[in-house]
Structure 1
């Protein structure tokens, strides 16, 4: 059998396919399957009596499906197709993978505070059906008569969200502040459906709270330590 006999393509394609099945990483597995399928297509084209168009078309369909799956894997692992603002928001979700963040992003609502007197996000000792993230600007937060300012890059309502209880502060976004809002029930449902995502989200929110507790705010800006905040931190351990 000559070295360039098309039959050797069958052996090469089979070897690549076997190697693919021995790899646990799905991205590499799919890539090798695509390469091996193209080797088979070359055989179907060069074989005596060929081209075998039925086999070629079927193989091309398999390649197309695997390319589609590769695209989904890329979206799960990278920030491809995210806008600049979405990438900035992803930087805040440092405990989540890109794929987990995309699921969170589907539930997000981008808001801009347009009320000249300020938009109320949460009210102290009242239920809140949302979780917020300050994207740009500084909001005003009040607890038991003590006021402080909370800059961009912070979550609002995380205590009420994680512990599923009334909020501990009144927070107001001045006109022009941009923030992101999530429906709390929808977010909790997603967390129940995907426990790994839920654990990563809870870890993120408790880390955000810990940052507030340890930050060097001025006395009139300080976040008061209270039973709810320490209870939340203990729940994350």
Structure 2
């Protein structure tokens, strides 16, 4: 199965159900997201200068969720299928809101210390959810802090290290994810949104599929290469045979 064939095809509720069923059977799991810009950046579409470790992380993860309008456009042309946009920002929120706080242990790893601290407050205020353990992304993760995890709960491990670092990190630490029975999600910049460091676009802009433009205007330096690589979709839609 290729990376493109592996991309998840169903809606967010079915995705959550399937992920939880996998966790129940397997005892751990790795969920990554894929957006069109990274297919370009990491050489997956062109087959040139492929980031082999990132490629392997996508091949070996349990679920690969589609992220963004550019990927939807590409997939509809080449595979004649309409993907759901299961981007990390929305799906992370959906995941947390769908589970009862008493049923989960939530672990966070990534971002700056102040972002992590604000994220913890956000989750407590909005969902009455206490984070089991959180660590910024500037030091090696201390797995010893997880030795007292309640084995009867769902251990949700959210990574906010950025793509492709977080996906490769999960691949390189898979034995620890198994040992501590972690359901691991590569969440990218989700912590920044939860902490209020980044803003979501107004609903009308999201509905118009223009949130990428909103984010670019607010933070052009951070989003420049992602936007540029996403525009390659038009080459594949209209020029590549």
* TM-score in terms of structure 2 length: 0.23
Higher RCO structure, 1 or 2 (CA under 8 Å, sep 6+): 2
Rg larger in structure: 1
